[in-house]
Structure 1
Amino acid sequence: MTHEIQVLYNARCPVCRAEIAHYAGYVDAHGLPVIFQDLNAGGLEHWGISADQAARRLHVRQNDRVLSGVDAFAALWAALPRYRWAARIVALPGLRQVASLIYERVLAPRLYARHLAREAKRAAS
């Protein structure tokens, strides 16, 4: 049985927004039990993290556990039949660590830096 999962993402990030829109379209088309929440819309008190923490990486809540980073992606992919193969690959010994290293040291910091730049520009406007 697939349990409902909630995905917390940054809709102000164009990369994040596009990726989540893709997943959300798939979820809607297949009636899957996945809910997407924009971190900018509030409700973070239910996640137990700050807006800054939420903006740093993808978060997923499943079975009352909050996962982040590659673990969050793996949980999301496992809930989507078309992407279960990706969840299985990331779970392979060694690959999870490599994927986490790339996500945590390269991808997430770049997206977060761009987020901070966009927010600074928005505040200056």
Structure 2
Amino acid sequence: MTTETRVLFNADCPICNAEICHYKAYAEDSGLEIGFDDLNSDALAAWNIDADTAARRLHVVHEGHLFAGIPAFLVLWKEMPRYRTLAKLVGLPGIRQLASIGYDYILAPLIYRRHLWRQKSGNTSL
């Protein structure tokens, strides 16, 4: 992993893939040095986390530090000029805690359960 900011995401998850592909296209169009790694590829080995842990929430490495969940989103958004205002808003005291609760206890678990269901059933759609 040579880029200072790298994103680990599940390209097999239609929701995750759509969101991260949007960020990736924006980063490429803007000339931003952000790397994107699919957890279903050989790139996962460099992250020192297993595929199941990686599938549970967004992970970002920035300047050698690993972030997961809302802190990972905040790091990613701060790296992209278009999303810096969103990072500032979500990073505000109170809002950050509410966003983390919503992501950690509602959204991420729902998306993860869908991921497990898709794996078990072989269904690649939402």
Q: Could you say which TM-score interval applies, normalised by the shorter chain?
A: over 0.9
1:55-81 deviations in Å (ceiling 9; x for gaps): 000000011111000000000000000
Calculate the TM-score normalised by the size of structure 2: 0.92
- Give SS of 2:122's match: helix
Whole-angstrom CA distance in 2 between matches of 1:47 and 1:37: 9
1:104 equivalent in structure 2: 104
- Give SS of 1:53's match: helix
Unpaired segments of 5 or more residues in structure 1?
A: none
- Give SS of 2:97's match: helix
The answer to whether residue 105 in structure 2 is matched with residue 73 in structure 1 is no
The answer to whether residue 44 in structure 2 is matched with residue 44 in structure 1 is yes
1:16-73 deviations in Å (ceiling 9; x for gaps): 0100111111011111010110000023232121100000000000111110000000
2:20 equivalent in structure 1: 20
Q: Stretches of 4+ moved more than 6 A in 1?
A: none
Whole-angstrom CA distance in 2 between matches of 1:25 and 1:96: 26
Residue 66 of structure 2 aligns with an amino acid whose one-letter code is V
Instruction: Give the number of equivalent residue pairs.
Output: 121
Unpaired segments of 5 or more residues in structure 2?
A: none
1:58-107 deviations in Å (ceiling 9; x for gaps): 00001111100000000000000000011111111111110000000110
Deviates more, 1:86-95 or 1:107-116: 86-95
Residue 98 of structure 2 aligns with an amino acid whose one-letter code is V
- Give SS of 2:37's match: strand
% of aligned pairs identical? Answer: 49
The answer to whether residue 5 in structure 2 is matched with residue 5 in structure 1 is yes
1:94 equivalent in structure 2: 94
Cα RMSD (Å): 1.3
Whole-angstrom CA distance in 2 between matches of 1:34 and 1:63: 11
2:29 equivalent in structure 1: 29
Calculate the TM-score normalised by the size of structure 1: 0.92
